[in-house]
Amino acid sequence: FSWMITQLQAFLCLGLFFAVVSPCPHPFLPSTLDSYCFLGTGNQFHVANSYRANFTKTLEITSFTLTQRSNFRIYVAPSNVNIDLELFQGSTFIAGSSSDTHQAEKTFFATLYPGSYSLNWQYEGVIDNQDDCSTLYVEWSIQPTSLLRVTAGTFDCPHQEVLPPADLFIDLSQESDNYQFNDEYVIMLGTPNEFRIISNMTLRIDEEPYWKIKASLGFDFLTGGSLGLALISSQQPWSGSKDCQLSTNCTLATGNGVNQLLLSATLYPGEYFVIIYDTGEECFDTHVGCVPFTFGSMVVQEFPQETSVNCPAVRLPESLNEPGYLTDDGFLLWSGHVYLHPSQVVNRIQFSLSKTSFVRFLVQSESVELHVLLYRSGDQVDPIASSSDSYGDSSGILLSLQEGDYILVIERGASYHRTFCQTFSIVMGISPVSALQISCPAENISPDFSSLQESIGSSPFIYSMEPKPDFPYAYYYQGLSQQQIFAIHFDVVEVSQLYVEIGVNIAAGDVSIYLSENDGNTQLIEGVHTGSAVFLFAQLEPNTYAINFATGATQTENIDDTQFPDCLIYTMRFTILPVDLVKGCLRYIMLPDTLLSPSFLYSSKFVSIHNEFQQPDSTHAMELTVHEESFLRCIASEFEPFDMGLVLRTNSNYEVVASSRTAPAGEQLEFLLQPGISYELVVLSNAPLNGQCNPFYFDLEIHPTSAFESASCDTHNIPNSDFFEFMSLPYSAESVFSIINPEERSYQLEIPFSIPVSVNVRFRLNENFLEGNTSFSFAGSLSPLVFNGNEAVGVLSPGDYLFKIERAASSLESGWNIQCVEYSLLVAYDSLTVDTEYDPVDCIQEVAPGSLNTLVYLSEFSGFQTHFQRDLLLPSDSSSTQISFSIDQESFFHVFTGEDADTSVSLSVIDLHSDLLYQSIGHSDGELENLCIFLLPGDYELQLNYTASITEDCQTIPFELQLMSSTYLEALDLPESCEAITPPIFISSAFTRGRYQFTRSPQASANTIYSIALSLSGTTSQHVYIELDYNFLLANMGLKLFARSTTTDQTDFVVSPVYFQNGAFIDVDLVVPGYEYNIHIEDLSNPQGYENDTRSICVSYELFVQIDHAE
């Protein structure tokens, strides 16, 4: 959350009064349904929402109590984490949903009787749990069975099915216009649990441009929820929705609001099937003999939107022999995330080896299948090695190769559910066999965990195993297939954090780490490969766990046994301690304690580190010794407000031989290391040890100077002015060239060029890390560019410019002058104009429904009542939205739009026959709007008129609507009067939760009923989470956090909440010194239309406040 502090301080510096600040715009997964958000009123609910799930826990529990027989259904959309759902009454299993793979939807239905229940959320297969905003999309509902039978029984089934057109074929290659339709249909109930295809629509595209499909399926969630919608390749055999869990050539529509599934996909040349199916799992104890549903589809042309300017993700190189990858001495260790091209199914990367080498390629994607193949150049029929990957699993190859030319091929399956600028991770390791110096001991040596259970069974405890570089662990291979090295089992008795790191030279071997629960069969987390280590972090709840350590999951049988080492050499860092004792941060990998370990100089003459690390506490020293003259270069990035430094000194007398402490954006150091001398490289940091995560990027390489002696360089392929100039936009060009270091001047290259119109630009200059130490700049820029490492981005106005590459301004203490530098230069331009005319088909969010009188909203199954909350998509071509609806009974209508700094909204409801108009009072720009009225039977139209500054595609506003009959309101058992239960006026504890109530005052349009002072401690910042839960039907409530400056150099400000269905929350880092904070709970009752108000005057709500360290 550290960026939140910066953002908040920016608000203060600008003197802004209004702010909506949240690092994660979703509420936490509820621990109980016995709250006012859910079962607290009327013993029923139907909610669709995205919840923040704590994947650092392996188990979360949601409890609830029922007082009458009820029907329950839950749906959890596919995610990158495998989830098992289990519903228990006491210790008795009632129902559940599970699978053995990621990307599987989870859903089940149950008829429940009075009693107490617990819903268990079991998380498995978490690949990377560093994300503090991991979410689950959940739709769930509980309705009393007696009420559901009455409402569903009013629907009259037709005499025969009404189906979409059978075998509809659409040739999009021949369509000059967009294609869309929307209608209502009905199927008859079949045999329970029998799979059936209802409709099949074929789409064909022969060539580009691409097309975008957005299709929706609407139905009653409780009685018709086993309907589904799938998009598959015509080449993909398909027998049911379960097949989609195993292949990304098939994708399922997912939940998107109450009673709806949404399919949104990008289509590339090919043939596709859009299939409506039924799994036969409807609610048969309340069925009426048929299932009505709606189906709508919109297909429009979609031109590629991702460019090298707006999508900064690194592209895979055409060759690993380009600058920045494989060095002249044949060494490579590169890890990172690379761009997943939307239509490029096959990526081919060439590389040449001058020596026999070990080669390791490892890929991983959480959203698409990846296949890795390796060919000899000229033979792309029979691969030397291959490996494939399913969702989330790592996949790769490891083998030894003779000198020669090769082609690495990465194939992917379809990626219909793409995100903008989508990436996948890749680790590449190449090392000449002659550079490795692996010495195997006489036998296997494993870490000793004999005292682990005894240590963590005491209280308090800290168990830590540090790496032993002089005595590394070893495992002799038993063949080359994957094999278990060892496993440990242990019990955790209190919430604890676990850090595991295995250091290994990935080019000569690999390790996998799996954290499992109980018997080891339920995999929870897989370790993440960082290039020189495998790293695993987890927050563990009390339970029994197992950790399995195994050789790489994709060892190939093609390795030359005479070349491959007999054993795997590795180090181990293992730490586990109660979460309350964690003073630093364990979520990022730590800097190595020494460079003499098996990951580095113990096994090789070469060292390559390019990764993100946790900043050390004050100082961190790394010992190193080389056995032949070697060149060292390292860079430590800096992020405000922290300062870093680099110092290289001899280990014998601490003589400083090189240092860097003054660079404003990062420190860099070069030095010529002499053989046999013991050095220490010290990284300095002023980041506080306060529980915060303060990562930084650290790059270091060490290569023998003899590796450069044979390197030749000719000045060639140097770009000229034409390379920088364009005829149309977007424009992108890349050039690979080399330059001999000129002795007569400091700069290496100057190229003049001209820009005719203002453009967004991105320049990226890659160079081999060791030979680099250059920078590039522009002369003549009227709008300064932002430089970030090897990139420059920003805006260039029309004019003449000079592109310049030069050696670093400050002379580094290298003692060695590199004469030849190779470069790869990317130049990219894009239009300066932001296209605000986006099409709704491009957005996952939905525009407002044109009518509420559909199966999704007002139908017999819902008792002609509806309640939903969503982020409402603002159409870019209009300043108003209309929603029509008709009611045949007196009803209560409540509509609400939340705060949005870029949008001002007014609400009005018009009686279409009498022109009677109800309007919201109206507030200042960005403030919420709230309208509550009682309506007589008739035809109405809700109008949303807004003034919006469209700053991004798919811009939305928070929106909640409820329409409920007065008859239902009167039937609720609500108190006619209430005794006030007030929250505390002062909160200082880290955790506060309570239930409160007050008497509503209909005369007040917006009235602060409670002000609660927050007492924050510390010298920097505190993280505060505030959640207000209420029932939208009965309460019109608001939440604000007011900050009053106690100094003259700071400005007062207000933090507004994020709204969700039946609630609101504030999640923010607050600067402690110089401010006083107060929570305001507001009564937003609107006096309009209250003459028939039959709601209780007693309003109940819940308040939850948590205060902890900011991150």
pLDDT at 9 over 50: no
- The predicted-structure confidence for 124-177, as pLDDT tens digits, reads as follows 755 444 456 778 899 999 999 888 888 887 888 888 888 887 666 666 666 554
CB 175 within 8 A of CB 884: no
Same domain, 1024 and 1107: yes
Using CA atoms, how far apart are residues 123 and 53, in angstroms rounded to an integer?
10
In 3D, which of 406, 427, 604 has the Cα closest to residue 512? 427
Tokens of 809: 């301004």
d(CA 618, CA 310): 37
Q: Residue 512 and residue 396: Cα distance in Å, rounded?
A: 12
Query: Pick the residue with more confidence: 624 or 1094?
Result: 624
Range 94-103 burial, b when 16+ CB lie within 10 A, else e: bbbbebeebb
783 occurs within a structural domain: no
For residues 939 and 1001, give the distance between their C-alpha atoms in angstroms, rounded to a whole number: 30
Are 162 and 133 found together in one domain?
A: no
Alpha helices by DSSP H, listed for 1001-1054, are: none
Both tokens of 184, joined, read 């209502």
Which helix (H) or strand (E) is 492 found in, with range?
A: strand 484-492
CATH classification of the domain holding 534: 2.60.120.380
Q: CA Rg, the chain, in Å? A: 32
Do residues 1098 and 999 lie in contact, with contact meaning Cβ atoms separated by under 8 Å? Answer: yes
Token pair 């402690």 is found at 1072
Q: Identify the helix (H) or strand (E) that includes residue 179.
A: strand 179-188
Q: Is residue 467 part of a domain?
A: yes
Q: Please list, in sequence order, all residues whose beta carbon lies within 8 angstroms of the beta carbon of residue 690, skipping any fewer than 6 positions away.
A: 583, 1020, 1109
Whether residue 165 sits in one domain with residue 268: yes
Percent of the chain whose pLDDT exceeds 90: 16
Burial 803-819 (b: 16+ CB within 10 A, else e): bbbebeeeebebeeebe
Same domain, 534 and 488: yes
Domain check: are 136 and 199 in the same one? Answer: no
Question: How far from 922 is each of 1, 897, 930, 1056, CA to CA, in Å?
Answer: 34, 11, 9, 17
pLDDT at 11 over 70: no
Looking at 255, 281, 303, the residue that finishes a domain is 303
Which amino acid, residue 268? Y
Q: What integer pLDDT is reported at residue 650 of this predicted model? A: 94
Domain boundary among 303, 332, 349: 303
Backbone angles phi, psi at 932, to 5 degrees: -125, 120
| pLDDT of amino acid 132 | 64
42-76 per-position pLDDT tens digit: 788 999 998 988 776 778 899 999 999 999 999 99
Query: Which residues, 6 or more positions from 4, have their beta carbon under 8 angstroms from its beta carbon?
Result: 21, 23, 1068, 1069, 1110
Amino acid, res. 557: E
H/E stretch holding 242 reads none
- Does some domain include residue 127? yes
Question: What's the Cα-to-Cα distance from 24 to each of 51, 327, 545, 873, rounded to whole Å?
Answer: 10, 42, 30, 19
CB count in 10 Å sphere of residue 171: 12
Which burial class, exposed, middle or buried, applies to 889 when counting CB atoms under 10 A from its CB (0-12, 13-18, 19+)? middle
Distances, alpha carbon 519 to alpha carbons 489, 524, 535, in Å: 9, 12, 22
**Do 516 and 574 lie in a common domain?**
yes
Domain count, the chain: 6
Q: Are 944 and 886 in contact (CB under 8 A)?
A: no
CB within 8 Å of 810: residues ≥ 6 apart:
none
What is the distance, to the nearest Å, from the Cα of residue 66 to the centroid of all Cα atoms in its chain?
36
pLDDT in tens, 652-673: 888 999 988 765 557 888 899 9
Mean pLDDT score of the chain = 80
pLDDT at 572: 92
Angle at 665 between CA 661 and CA 666, to 5 degrees: 50
The neighbouring-strand residues paired with 791 are 764, 788
Say which CATH number the domain at 166 has: 2.60.120
pLDDT of residue 181: 66
Q: How confident is the model at residue 19 (pLDDT cuts 50, 70, 90)?
A: very low
Q: Which two tokens stand for residue 970?
A: 């009167």
The C-alpha atoms of residue 153 and residue 272 are separated, in whole angstroms, by 38
Could you tell me if 966 and 909 are in contact, meaning their C-beta atoms sit under 8 angstroms apart? no
**Rounded Cα gap, residues 1110 and 1022, in angstroms:** 5
Q: Are 569 and 472 in contact (CB under 8 A)?
A: yes
Under a CB-based contact definition with an 8 Å cutoff, are residues 1057 and 1046 in contact?
A: no
Rounded distance, CA 929 to CA 959, Å?
A: 10
Q: What average pLDDT score do residues 588-611 get?
A: 89
**Higher per-residue confidence, 243 vs 589:** 589
For the chain, percent helix, then strand, then coil, each to nearest 5?
5, 50, 45
Q: Does one domain contain both 370 and 428?
A: yes
Residue 842 lies in a domain: no
Q: Has residue 1093 been placed in a domain?
A: yes
Give, as one character, the DSSP assignment of residue 809: S
Please tell me whether residue 393 adopts helix, strand or coil conformation.
coil
Q: Is the pLDDT of residue 649 over 90?
A: yes
Asked if residue 460 has a cis previous peptide bond (ω within 30° of 0), the answer is yes
Beta-carbon contacts of 45 under 8 Å, excluding residues fewer than 6 positions away, are 33, 37, 38, 39, 140, 141, 142
Q: What is the pLDDT of residues 693-740, one digit of tens each?
A: 778 888 899 988 887 655 556 677 889 999 999 988 889 898 888 887
Domain that holds residue 287: 155-303
CA atoms of 748 and 740, how far apart (whole Å): 8
Ramachandran angles phi, psi of 611, nearest 5°: -160, 175
Task: Identify the pLDDT of residue 746.
Answer: 64
**What are 739-750's pLDDT values in tens digits?**
876 665 666 788
137 bridge partner residues: 50
Query: Where does residue 730 fall: left (phi above 0), alpha (psi -120 to 50 degrees), or beta otherwise?
Result: beta
Tell me the pLDDT tens digit for each residue of 514-540: 888 765 566 678 888 887 889 998 888
1018, exposed or middle or buried, with CB in 10 Å at 0-12, 13-18, 19+? Answer: middle
What was the pLDDT predicted at 617?
78
Number of helical (H) and strand (E) elements in the chain, helices listed first: 6, 71
822-857 confidence digits (pLDDT tens) = 888 999 998 876 444 445 555 666 778 889 998 889
Contacts of 478 (CB under 8 A, 6+ apart): none
pLDDT, residue 129, reads 45
Q: Give yes or no: residues 399 and 499 share one domain.
A: no
Give the three-state DSSP class for 307: coil
Q: Is residue 36 part of a domain?
A: no
What letter would DSSP give residue 848? P
Q: 915 or 1033: whose pLDDT is higher? A: 1033
Residues 278 and 327 in one domain: no
Give the model's pLDDT for residue 722.
92
Place of tokens 């007030």: 982
Confidence at residue 115, expressed as pLDDT on a 0 to 100 scale: 95
Asked if residue 854 is part of any domain, the answer here is no
Picking from 546, 575, 591, the residue at the C-terminal end of a domain is: 591
Q: Is the residue at 770 inside a domain?
A: no
- Together in a domain, 291 and 309: no
Q: CA-based angle 283:284:289, to the nearest 5?
A: 110
Same domain, 289 and 357: no
Predicted confidence (pLDDT) at residue 810 exceeds the cutoff of 50: no
Dihedral sign (CA 273, 279, 285, 288): positive
440 with 587, same domain: the answer is yes
